Structure formats: C-alpha cells, structure tokens
Amino acid sequence: MLKVNWKRAVIKVGSSLIAPNNNQCSQEYLRPIARFISDSRKQGKEVILVSSGSVAAGKGKIAFKHHPSIVEKQAMAAIGQTQMMANWASLFDFDCAQILLTSDDLHNRTRYVNIKNTLRELLKNNALPIVNENDTVAINELKVGDNDNLAAYTALVSEADTLIICSDINGLYDADPRHNSTAKLIPEVNIIDDSIYQLAGGAGSDVGTGGMHTKLQAAQKCVDSGIQTLIVNGRDPVVFDELAKGHSPGTLFKPNKSLDNARDNWLRHTLKVKGSIEIDQGAQQALLEKGASLLPSGIIGVSGRFLSGEAVNIIYKDNAIAKGIVLYSSTDLTSIKGLNSQKIEATIGYSLGETVIHRNDLVLL
C-alpha cells in the first residue's frame, strides 16, 4: 500500500454510513471511524468531520407519500440533524461542535473568514468540528454530491493537508465493480483529467446524494490546492486500521502542487487588494524575522476602505512587504491602531481576536 502522512484531515462520511437503513441513525459503520478519529487526536493530529445524513436520519419522522418534497426534506433535516449530532457525540469523550453551512457562506469573504476562525478556535480547544449543509433552509444545496464538494471546501477553508472521503466502495476502479467482476482498484491518481472522470458512474446509493463523479470533483478541488485526497471504503473497519498505520487502503489522489505554494499563490495572485496598513519597525521585524501575526499595536496608518475578510497590503517605509486577509475593517482599524490587543473590545465594542492579520492568512512579498 502507498504511504500517506497528514497533520490535519477532513473526513467526509456519507448518508449510507450514517443511516444505512434510510430512516434512522446507526452506529454500525461509525464505530471504527470514531476510533480512528480518537486515536489520531491522541497522536497530536487534528480532525474535522463532514457528516451527511440529517435528511436520512429524519426520514422516518415525517410523513410523505412517494418522494418527499423539498419542504418535507427540510423538516426531515431539522429533526435528523439533532439525532445525527447526538449519535456522533455518543461515540466520543470530548466535545463535538456543530457547524451548518450553505454554499453562500463559503463564497462570501466575510463569512468565509469567520468560518476559518471558528474552525481554528475549535481545534485550538480540542473540540471536534462536525460540518453539514444547512439543509433546513438551503433549497439549492439539496442536490447530488453537495456534501462531497462541501468537504472539499471545508478542507480549503480549514487549511487541511488531507481530505478522506468515506464511500461504500474501496475507491476508484477502472470499471464499475458492481457490474464488472474484473474491475481493478486504481491505487494512485496523479492527474484528474477527462479519462478519470469517464471512469465515474452516476449516483451511488439510494440513501445519499453523491456518486463517484462528485467525489472526483471534490478531489480535484483539493489536489489543485495542494491537498492530498483519499477515497476509501467507510464500511470496512480494516480501512481505518490501515489509515492509522499511515497506509492508503483506497485511491490516493496526489496534489499537483505543494500546500504552502498553493496558499501563497492564492493570497498573492487571486485576492484583490482593497487598502493598505502601514506598520512600524517592531511589527516589520516580527513579520519578517519571527513569522508572527500582525497585531494592532504595530499599526501606524490605515489607507483605503475595506471590510473584514478583504485583502490589504502591509506597508513599511513606503514598500509593500506583505499581503493578507484582515480581520477588522478600515474604520475599526483606524480606531484601534497602535493599541494593545486587550483594548480592542473596549474601544470598538467587540473583538474578533487579538490579531489583525493571522500568520496563516498572510504572505510575504
């Protein structure tokens, strides 16, 4: 088996594993996954869980005739989400945190940064973030494969180095193993091109909404951003024993660039600068020599109009030395520049954290 190493992983678990009977939560397939998560955390690794299954978990609680309507699915999700969270929480002896997202949350810059900061804080406090779509309000998100792509976006926003997608088959095959007994597992994929997509069939189980095609979409999002991706069989407990040993028991999609370079390129080239922050010598040395975050105490000037979550240049003696995503708006920064971080809330009435730009959201120029 191929070797795989990781420090922070997003694990996606689908409806067919959460509610295999299609009407209530089960722990049949979840216990080995939970044990793997617990053991990984004991080794100092960080895990974020993306869990489908709220609609399937609540399906037996809402009456419907043939095929449930959108409104009926949303009612199922409202009931099933609490059951799904309780089911996961019962498998762990540490805190679980519920995060419900929509596509809009991930494409809005301010909310994107808020999600990133929340995940960072939860991991810092040793909680297990459990992410799902907000199916009770998001009509367009109740569609094929959305949680596969949601898992990819979660890996991006959390700055994970690995995405593990738990499926009901062993990985990507050169033919459909359900109809072709000679189909062979593809252990490694270096480039996801049209020939790879042609190997994917339609939607898989009748419980979830995802098939192999959407798993490949998720894998492509990740590998293009430097995140290795695995598709494994979540129904086989041996899979998680092998993962714990550092082996890839399914299909491993290799990233086509380094994680650091992908993030640097995104910050450096993709984000449009909306303003600038001028800093003093102490802040300049902290950024360049110590790899520190930018604090309000080192800011001596603010130019332009920008909101929380937008990109700014960091200026020292008329030269742009860095670029980053700012937590505070230009208006708020004008009020708190030069202050100790402990005075932020007393000055502007709230605090988003002690840093103005976190080191992970900053690239040196």
54-64 mean pLDDT: 84
Residue 266 counted as domain residue = no
Q: What is the CATH number of the domain that holds 344?
A: 2.30.130.10
φ/ψ region of 240 (left if φ > 0, alpha if ψ in -120 to 50, else beta) reads alpha
Do 288 and 241 fall into the same domain?
Answer: no
Q: Per the structure, how many domains does the chain have?
A: 2
Q: CB–CB of 253/265 below 8 Å?
A: no
The mean pLDDT of the chain is: 89
DSSP 94: S
pLDDT value, residue 208: 40
Identify the domain boundary among 238, 259, 280. 259
Q: CB–CB of 56/208 below 8 Å?
A: yes
140-166 mean pLDDT: 81
Tokens of 214: 């959407």
Residue where the block lists tokens 């299954």: 53
Do 253 and 278 fall into the same domain?
Answer: no
Quote the CA–CA distance of 275 and 256 in Å, as a whole number.
32
**pLDDT tens, residue by residue, 82-133:** 999 999 999 999 999 999 988 777 777 778 888 999 999 999 999 999 999 8
Tokens of 365: 């120029």
Q: How confident is the model at residue 142 (pLDDT cuts 50, 70, 90)?
A: very low
pTM listed for this prediction = 0.79
Q: How confident is the model at residue 65 (pLDDT cuts 50, 70, 90)?
A: confident
Do 48 and 162 fall into the same domain?
Answer: yes
Tokens of 307: 């909101």
Do 95 and 232 fall into the same domain?
Answer: yes
Do 326 and 178 fall into the same domain?
Answer: no
184-209 mean pLDDT: 76
pLDDT value, residue 141: 44
Closest by alpha carbon to 30, among 46, 19, 21?
Answer: 19
Do 221 and 330 fall into the same domain?
Answer: no
* Residue 304, H or E segment: strand 299-304
Q: CB–CB of 325/364 below 8 Å?
A: no
Domain residues for the domain of 291 are 271-364
Q: CB–CB of 59/80 below 8 Å?
A: yes
Do 247 and 306 fall into the same domain?
Answer: no
pLDDT value, residue 19: 85
Is residue 143's pLDDT more than 60? Answer: no
Do 229 and 290 fall into the same domain?
Answer: no
pLDDT value, residue 201: 62
Residue where the block lists tokens 């959460």: 18
Quote the CA–CA distance of 99 and 115 in Å, as a whole number.
9
Is residue 81's pLDDT more than 70? Answer: yes
Identify the domain boundary among 236, 259, 282. 259
